Structure 1
Amino acid sequence: MRNDKEDLALLNILRQCEAKEKIPLIDYITDSGEGRLSLSKESENKLVAAKLSERFFDDEKNKLIIKEIQSFGGNSLVNLIRSGKGVSYDEIVRDVASKVGAKVTSTASCEDMENAIIAKIIEKAWDKMSPEDRKEMTEFMHIPAKGPVTLAAVLAAAELGGFATFQLVASVANALAKQIIGRGLAFGANAGLMQGLGVLVGPVGWAVTALWLAADLAGPAYRVTVPCVIQIAYLRQTIAIKNFKICPQGHPQKDPNAKFCSTCGAPIAAPLLQNT
Structure 2
Amino acid sequence: MVKTMEWQGQSLLLLDQTKLPSEIITILCKDYRRVGEAIKRLEVRGAPAIGAAAAFGMVLGWQELVSRYADFSQETLLIEFKKIKNFLLSTRPTAVNLGWAVEKIYKHAVAMINAQQSLKAIETSLGNLACKIYQEDIEVNRRIGIYGAALLPQQARILTHCNAGALATCGWGTALGVVRQAFLDGRLEMVYADETRPLLQGARLTAWELIEDNIPVTLITDNMAAWVMQTQHIDSVIVGADRIAANGDTANKIGTYGVALAAKY
- Please say whether Structure 1 and Structure 2 have the same fold, judged by a TM-score greater than 0.5: no
User: Which one has the bigger strand percentage?
Assistant: 2
TM-score (norm 2): 0.31
